[in-house]
Structure 1
Amino acid sequence: MPRHIDRHQSDSLHDDLESPADEASYDGLSIELPVSFIEELSASQGIDDLMNVIARWSRVIFRADRVTIALPGADADHLRLVAMEGNDAIPIDMPVPVSGTMVGRVFAQGKAEICPDLSLSDDWDCKILSDKGLKSCLDVPLLSGSRCFGTINIGHCQTYAQDVEDMMRLQGMAHWVATSLRIHHQIMEMQTLADIDPLTGALNRRAFAQEFAALCANRHEDGSGEMAPLGIAMIDLDHFKAINDRHGHAAGDRVLIHVRDALTSNCGERDLIARMGGEEFCVAITGMSKPKMLALLARFTKAIESIYIPEADLNINVTASVGALLVQGGVEDQEQLLSLVDRVMYRAKETGRNRIIFHQ
């Protein structure tokens, strides 16, 4: 007979299953995975696609009325649903609190739970599922190593629909999913380390070259049917060595971070900001007219005129020499274009610094 667990047993289920006797009892458990499932997994184009495939087939394999996969949200207090199949009791775009929910508890504690009768639960998510016609659910953590990446939840329209064997099978599947997520995170972290300047968080020179080439290749026409203008500016801080010599390299680092922040606050999410090396930065902005580009650069130079360094309790006056240009048509040679704007920037330095020169 299947081993069902009641409400009070679910809290200690994880500990109970760690005993040698229980391990032996479930050594023979297996999951039959359809060939089509494996083929769809191998064809997945990204992590979101992968999660949707897993949710869809989990519903089939466990004959569930609802399956969701939840991953960490925008803040530490919420989870976000990234895949859903079946009953949409909790909309996929609704953040799920970690506190006061079954799914949040499973995520925070890393322990699987079965709620055999949702109508008896005080958890926020269980109450919503019950109100929408579901009767029971099983939630397991996505564990890989010592890290929990999220949870998988399966729900049914019958009470006591899941047993311990179901939990063990789903947990085994969840371990595999979590391993995939861990590998994905490691790849993304390595990509970030390869692309991002470690001090300022801006793109590094290599990554900027790649992103700039893609930006040039994918520029769209504006409302008039013309190619959207592309603004480029090279920014070099004046007398930066003197700042390091006078105030120390820690203060100099703080200045570079503030410069990146000032650029970020004046640019859009799709614009490119890079630290090209030393005290030199570059920005690439689409859909920008010359007057707007000059106004943006003026706001930036104003923002860095006085930078407060809290560690030393001092204000550092910073100026920049800026070279800028606007591209109206297509870009055939990105390197030549960047070399041109770099020469314009050096002209700003040679003619007295602390100024913006726009290439005509």
Structure 2
Amino acid sequence: MTRKLPTLQVSENTTASPGAEDLLRILDSLDAAVYVSDMHSHDLLFLNAYGRQQWGEPDGRKCWQVLQEGQSGPCEFCNNPRLLDAQGRPGAAVVWEFQNTQDGRWYQCRDQAIVWSDGRLARVEIATDITERKALEDALKASHHRVERLAYRDELTQLLNRRAFFAACREQLACLPAEHVFAVLLIDLDHFKAINDAHGHAAGDHVLREVARIFRAELRDSDILCRFGGEEFALALPGTSLSDATALAERLRLALHASPFAYAGQSIHGTASIGVAAASCGEVSLENLLKTADQAMYRAKRQGRDRVCTASAQE
């Protein structure tokens, strides 16, 4: 049986002109919702077959009653005002994306104001379902974030990696006043090879993750901690004096010294040698500052390990 096409009504007791049946066939064949609503009263003047299948028959209801969920009045997000020019006349079309509040699906909407046959201003919207496209975009964004995270994060400890550390430090140095001090710590775990040899590389990985956790607990949000490579960590302290940086280094050393790592029923003790250097932001070369901290760290190792050494004037 052939379905009888609805009559396109522009006002009560007024039917569409000849040729409307062909127009309705075209509109009902579209794989998109098409509707017309009065821009003042929000009366739903027309809804094509796709729209009726999605949201039901209009039955004299307003557009916000048919197309949306839980609305007690016109939608707050209604963009009718954007469809009119400064003189209140129909303006350019507006294309936007929207997640419908009733069916939860995403639509790309093309809205335009027109003058209806009886002189009233009406809004015409063509809404195409783009839910699958949005899902693909979200998947691609998530994939991009995962790749970005891998590019800037150490996979084992989830700290910044060396590349990200240099980028973050340079960004901070560019923002800080020249007279502010910038401090760095280079931290090398003592006898880490012996831990791997005695307990296995899985135990060594566990120690690295635990060291990262212990250090993070002692730091501010503005501090920049990274796994510099192997068993070596780097820490940048923007706006921190040499004395304050040295005090923090000692806290980190003691926290590590006091926290044996439990692994596979064994207790693994870890210590670290730490070198500290600092310079004013206006004079600092990040590479030279790290080199100076590195020299202080090796001095700590030569002096017996498990200690903090501050850069000397010669360094």
Residue number in structure 2 paired with 1:76 = none
Hey, what does 1:51 align to over in structure 2?
none
Q: TM-score scaled by structure 1?
A: 0.54
Question: Are the counterparts in 1 of residues 260 and 270 from structure 2 also a CA contact under 8 Å?
Answer: no
Using a 3 Å threshold, how does the CA distance of structure 1 residues 296 and 114 change in structure 2: closer, same or farther? farther
Cα–Cα, structure 1 residues 126 and 25, in superposed 2: closer, same or farther, change >3 Å? closer
CA displacement at 1:182 relative to structure 2: 3.2
Aligned to 1:195: 152
The residue that corresponds to 1:322 in the other structure is 274
Q: Is the 8 A contact 1:235 1:321 kept in 2?
A: yes
Check conservation: 2:253, 2:271, Cα contact below 8 A. Answer: yes
Tell me: CA distance 1:326–1:30, structure 2 relative to 1, closer, same or farther (3 Å).
same
Q: Does residue 187 of structure 2 align to residue 241 of structure 1?
A: no
Alignment deviations for residues 199-220 of structure 1 (CA, whole Å, 9 cap, x no partner): 111122222222222222x232
Q: Equivalences for 1:268-307 in 2 at 5 Å?
A: 268-307=220-259
Q: 1:309 to 1:334 in 2, by over 3 A?
A: closer
* Bigger Rg, structure 1 or 2: 2
**Matched residue, 1:158:** none
Q: Secondary structure at the match of 1:304?
A: helix
Distance (whole Å) between structure 1 residues aligned to residue 29 and residue 279 of structure 2: 70
How far, CA to CA, are the matches of 1:64 and 1:177 in structure 2?
A: 30
Question: Unaligned 5+ residue runs, structure 1?
Answer: 3-23, 32-60, 66-112, 143-150, 155-164
* Cα distance change, pair 214–248 in 1 and its aligned pair in 2 (3 A): same
**Structure 1 position 171 matched with structure 2 position 122:** no
2:254, 2:38 → 1: CA distance?
Answer: 60
Please identify runs of 4+ aligned residues in structure 1 that moved more than 6 A: 61-65, 115-118, 151-154
The CA deviation at 1:287 is 1.7
Question: Is the 1:306–1:316 contact (alpha carbons within 8 Å) kept by the matching residues of 2?
Answer: no
Residue among 222, 227, 245 paired with 2:179: 227
What is the CA deviation profile of residues 226-279 of structure 1, one whole-angstrom value per residue up to 9, with x for unaligned ones? 632211000000111111122222221111011111221122223211111111
What CA distance in whole angstroms lies between the structure 2 residues aligned with 1:285 and 1:251?
30
Contact 2:300 2:309 in 1 (8 A): yes
Q: What is the CA deviation profile of residues 78-112 of structure 1, one whole-angstrom value per residue up to 9, with x for unaligned ones? A: xxxxxxxxxxxxxxxxxxxxxxxxxxxxxxxxxxx
Alpha-carbon contact 2:274-2:309 (below 8 Å) kept: yes
Distance 2:222 2:161 in 1: 16
CA distance, structure 2, for counterparts of residue 299 and residue 310 of structure 1: 21
Between the aligned partners of 1:359 and 1:270, the Cα distance in structure 2 is 23
SS in 1 for 2:217: helix
CA 1:185 to 1:344, structure 2 compared with 1: closer, same or farther past 3 Å? same
Change (3 A) 1:64 1:184: farther
Give the drift of 1:305.
1.6
The one-letter amino acid of 1:355's match is R
Query: How many residues in Structure 1 have an aligned counterpart in Structure 2?
Result: 236
1:183 matched residue in structure 2 = 140
Q: Name the amino acid aligned to 2:152.
A: D
Q: 1:208 aligns with which of 159, 165, 190?
A: 165
Q: Which residue of 2 aligns with 1:337?
A: 289
- Tell me how far apart the structure 2 counterparts of residues 356 and 62 of structure 1 sit (CA, whole Å): 74
- Cα distance change, pair 333–63 in 1 and its aligned pair in 2 (3 A): farther
Partner of 2:100: 138
Q: What is the alpha-carbon distance in structure 1 between the residues aligned to residue 296 and residue 189 of structure 2?
A: 14
Report deviation, 1:25: 4.6
Note the C-alpha offset of 1:181: 3.5
Letter in 1 for 2:188: D
| 1:171 to 1:306, Cα distance in 2 relative to 1, 3 A | farther
Match of 1:350 among 302, 307, 315: 302
1:347 offset after TM fit, Å?
0.9
Structure 2 unaligned regions, length at least 5: 7-27, 40-53, 79-98, 110-124
**AA partner of residue 301 (structure 1):** R
TM-score w.r.t. the length of structure 2 is: 0.61
Q: Deviations over 1:118-145 (max 9, x none)?
A: 9xx9xxx966x54x76499933557xxx
Alpha-carbon shift at residue 331 of structure 1 (Å): 4.5
Q: Determine the C-alpha separation between the residues in 2 that align with 1:64 and 1:208.
A: 58
Q: Is the 8 A contact 1:230 1:327 kept in 2?
A: yes
Distance 1:64 1:180 in 2: 34
8 Å contact from structure 1 (residues 251, 309) kept in 2:
no
Whole-Å Cα distance in 1 between the matches of residues 301 and 36 of structure 2?
68
State the identity as a percent.
31
Q: Matches of 1:269 and 1:152 in 2, distance apart?
A: 40
Contact 1:273 1:284 in 2 (8 A): yes
